Structure formats: structure tokens, C-alpha cells
Amino acid sequence: MATNNAVNTSLAGQTGTGKFVGDTAPTMSNVTINDININTDTISTVTTNGNLYLEPNGTGHVDVGDPGLEVGNILIDGIAFNSRFRVNDIGNTAPAMVTIHKHSTTQEPLQIAARSNSNTTAHATVTANMPLYSMYATGWLNSYYGVFGQMRFSADSTGTLADGSAPGKLELMVTPDGAVLPVTALSINNAGVTTLANALPVGSGGSGRTTATAYAVICGGTTSTGAQQSIASVGTAGQVLTSNGAGALPTFQTPAAGGADAAFSFLLMGG
């Protein structure tokens, strides 16, 4: 862009790449273009409560900070991803990349992701199982950024999708060793039911198993942190749970004649 050092001047006839770097070109303290006012380091609308649009042409994007080598797209799992808005930092100049800052006595800062099931300006209702918002965590590997994890919000598979009813589902996903795509490790459905992809280990407060024998007695595992075990049989009426010694699960057995039951009856009779 041609340099223009005038104050309160017009940009008519100026041409160039449309890239402003720092306060280099053009240098002016105050300029108004239609409803847009540029005053030193502030861009605002002249109209009160007016809207300010940043609309890149085609597949272009708005960059905040130096994008380094990713001037165009960014490679995620070998696929070129384009975005409309990017925040960049080369050299750790800004530890917090994005800060949502708000002063309010009634409301916390909000981050909103809004999806309509259409490719036009029209609105269309989302459908069951449709992803609504995802966050990727990626890291550079040998030739591209790999996806290490993902958090995804979706419309749930059950429930009514209509005004006044928005059944949701949350999934926390991690990428297994030797894989490139994250898989669901934990999900929460619209009823608040939590499902784990694998059994919660005993050492983390779980049972170490995903199923148990109906009505069966639960015993400890073969080690202090081993998965809990179910006794194979629930026994029959009148049987008692009997020890089979160390290193073996107890079993339900029919008590021997003259055993504990007989001795107890003898005591009750005053014997």
C-alpha cells in the first residue's frame, strides 16, 4: 500500500495488498472511510451501535500476530485446514493466546458455538448425533500437526429436537498409540449418564470390569488392584457361602449335617 502521511485525509485511489503492519504504511492519526473510523490504534464505527465486519475474500483469513510458515493453511493429519480467523504467536511472546475478559456482577464470560444445518443464510434444524462444536488439541510430528485429543458436543441420539428441547451429548476423546484419529474415552448423554470406553480400574476407585454376574456376590481381585470377581454361582436356597482357602473364591455349599445350624439349634434349646 502506498504511504500516506496526511492527517484526516482520504484513501481514495490507494492500492496494495491490504496488509497493515504495525504503524508503518500508511501513517495517519485519524481517517474515516464511509462508516469506519481509524483513530491511531482504534478502529470503530461512526454510527452508534454500528456493526464492524472483517470479511476476507474467498478462502482468505484474518491473522493476528505473525503466522510464521503457516501463511496459508495449516496441516492437520496431512490435511490442509483453512480458517477465517487465526491468532498466532512465534517465540512465546504471548503466553495467553486468547483471553475473554469481562466485568459483570450478573454474568460470566461466554463462548458460543452456533450451528445451523444448512449451507445458505437460511436456518435448518440440526439432527440427532450431529456434532455441534469440537476442540482439537494438536502437536507437530514429523511433517504435520497430529491430533492428540478432542472434546465434542453433539445433539444426542435420543430426545426431541425442537424449540424448548435441546438434548445434548458430550464426548472426551483421545488418540490411541499408533493411530491418527481420537476415539471416545468418556461420554455423557442428555440424561446425565456417563459411559466409559473401558472399565475404571480398582486403583482409581472402580471395579476394573464392565459387567458382573446378576445377583452374584462380588469379591476382590487376584491382587490388591486387580479387577473384582463375581462368584460363578448364586447358590440355592439353604446353601451357605463357604471358604475354599487362600487363593480361591468362596462357593455356595450345602452345610454338613450337625454343622453350624445344628449347633445353633442345640444352644437355642438350652443344651
| One domain, residues 143 and 209 | no
Q: Could you tell me the pLDDT band of residue 269, with boundaries at 50, 70 and 90? A: low
Domain count for the chain, please give it: 3
Q: Could you tell me the pLDDT band of residue 118, with boundaries at 50, 70 and 90? A: very high
For residues 116 and 123, what is the distance between their CA atoms, to the nearest angstrom?
A: 6
Give tens-digit pLDDT for 159-179.
999 999 999 999 999 999 999
| One domain, residues 191 and 224 | no
Average pLDDT, the chain: 85
118 in any annotated domain: no
The whole domain housing 133 covers 128-197
For residues 236 and 125, what is the distance between their CA atoms, to the nearest angstrom?
A: 56
For residues 36 and 63, what is the distance between their CA atoms, to the nearest angstrom?
A: 20
Cα pseudo-dihedral 176, 177, 181, 183, rounded to 10: 0
Asked which of 182, 197, 212 is the last residue of a domain, the reply is: 197
Give tens-digit pLDDT for 131-150.
999 999 999 999 999 999 99
88 in any annotated domain: no
Residue 11 has pLDDT above 80, yes or no: no
For residues 209 and 4, what is the distance between their CA atoms, to the nearest angstrom?
A: 72
| One domain, residues 138 and 179 | yes
| One domain, residues 269 and 205 | yes
Residue 212 has pLDDT above 50, yes or no: yes
Tell me the HSE value of 112 on the side-chain side, using a 13 A CA sphere: 5
| One domain, residues 214 and 264 | yes
Give tens-digit pLDDT for 229-260.
988 888 899 889 898 898 899 999 998 876 55
Q: Could you tell me the pLDDT band of residue 7, with boundaries at 50, 70 and 90? A: very low
Grid cell in block for residue 133: 462444536
228 in any annotated domain: yes
Give tens-digit pLDDT for 76-99.
988 888 888 999 999 888 888 899
| One domain, residues 160 and 221 | no
- The pTM of the full predicted model, rounded to 2 decimals, is 0.72
Q: Could you tell me the pLDDT band of residue 266, with boundaries at 50, 70 and 90? A: low
Is residue 164 within 8 Å of 170, Cβ to Cβ? no
> What are residue 87's DSSP bridge partners?
64
93 in any annotated domain: no
Run of H or E including 37: strand 36-39
Give tens-digit pLDDT for 20-31.
444 455 556 788
pLDDT at position 71: 86
